[in-house]
Amino acid sequence: MTLDQREVRNAFGRFATGVTVVTCRNEQGEPHGATVNAFTAVSLDPALCQVTLTRKSKACRYLDGAPFAVNVLAADQLDTAWHFAGRPQDRAPEWAEGVVAPVLTGTAATISCRPWRLYDGGDHLIVIGEVEHLETSDADPLLFFAGGFRELGPRGCAHWSASVDCPDLGWFGSAEGFAPLATAAS
């Protein structure tokens, strides 16, 4: 069965994501960035995160074995998102020297990573980084949903406390350890 790519994009687009710019150095040592919304946390110990970039991206060439930063864009950085998505804006984004790679200023968070692993992801490259340094701010993040950029709405009154999965109450008791599911027998 062959899936229509537009239908796949539309279905994937129903999942709201944050907007990041992955930054690194190019072959000449200059700062380079690519707008990416395929970002996720992978592990707390060791601290790992993942970005997934289309193989058409120049950044794919620069990330093989190289340090990088994941810049979580703030809600007021729409121009920055467009700039690194291939639509340069009148005002260039501001760079700073990061711990392991160049970073952008004014972000909601910056996650500086050392290379961990690269994986084949079809027409994308899956890049796993080991977190070396974190910086956060109180800025709301820029969001992406259904093919468009969005911002957070007002905070609702609903709280997770009605759920057993409430992160404020803890998923596991302090005395309990986490036991992963048993792997299926081969």
pLDDT on residue 174:
47
Residue at 83 is within a domain: yes
Residue at 179 is within a domain: no
Q: Which has the minimum average pLDDT: 73-82, 91-100, 163-172?
A: 163-172
Residue at 182 is within a domain: no
Mean predicted lDDT score pLDDT of the chain? 86
Per-residue pLDDT at 101 exceeds 80: yes
pLDDT on residue 17:
86
pLDDT on residue 186:
47
pLDDT on residue 155:
73
Residue at 176 is within a domain: no
Residue at 24 is within a domain: yes
* Of 106 and 90, the one with more pLDDT: 106
Per-residue pLDDT at 15 exceeds 50: yes
pLDDT on residue 53:
92
pLDDT on residue 183:
56
> Where residue 135 falls among pLDDT bands split at 50, 70, 90?
very high
pLDDT on residue 35:
93
Which whole-number Å values give the CA distances from 123 to 26, 39, 88, 147, 167, in the listed order? 21, 16, 25, 19, 35
Two structure tokens written together for 126: 């899956």
Number of domains in the chain: 1
* Of 126 and 171, the one with more pLDDT: 126
Domain containing residue 46: CATH number: 2.30.110.10
Residue at 166 is within a domain: no
Provide the H-helix boundaries in 4-89.
5-12, 58-62, 78-84
pLDDT on residue 69:
97
What's phi and psi for 161, nearest 5 deg?
Answer: -60, -15
Closest-CA residue to 73 (of 103, 47, 107): 107
- pLDDT tens-digit map of 136-179: 999 999 998 888 888 888 777 666 666 666 666 655 554 455 55
For 127, counting Cβ atoms within 10 Å of its Cβ (0-12 exposed, 13-18 middle, 19+ buried), the class is buried
Phi-psi region of 147 (alpha: psi -120 to 50; beta: other; left: phi over 0): left
Give the residue numbers spanning the domain of 121: 5-153
- pLDDT tens-digit map of 35-74: 998 999 999 999 999 999 988 888 888 998 999 999 999 9
Cβ atoms within 10 Å, residue 66: 18
Residue at 134 is within a domain: yes
For the chain, how long is the longest CA-to-CA vector?
A: 58
Cα 125 from chain centroid (whole Å): 14
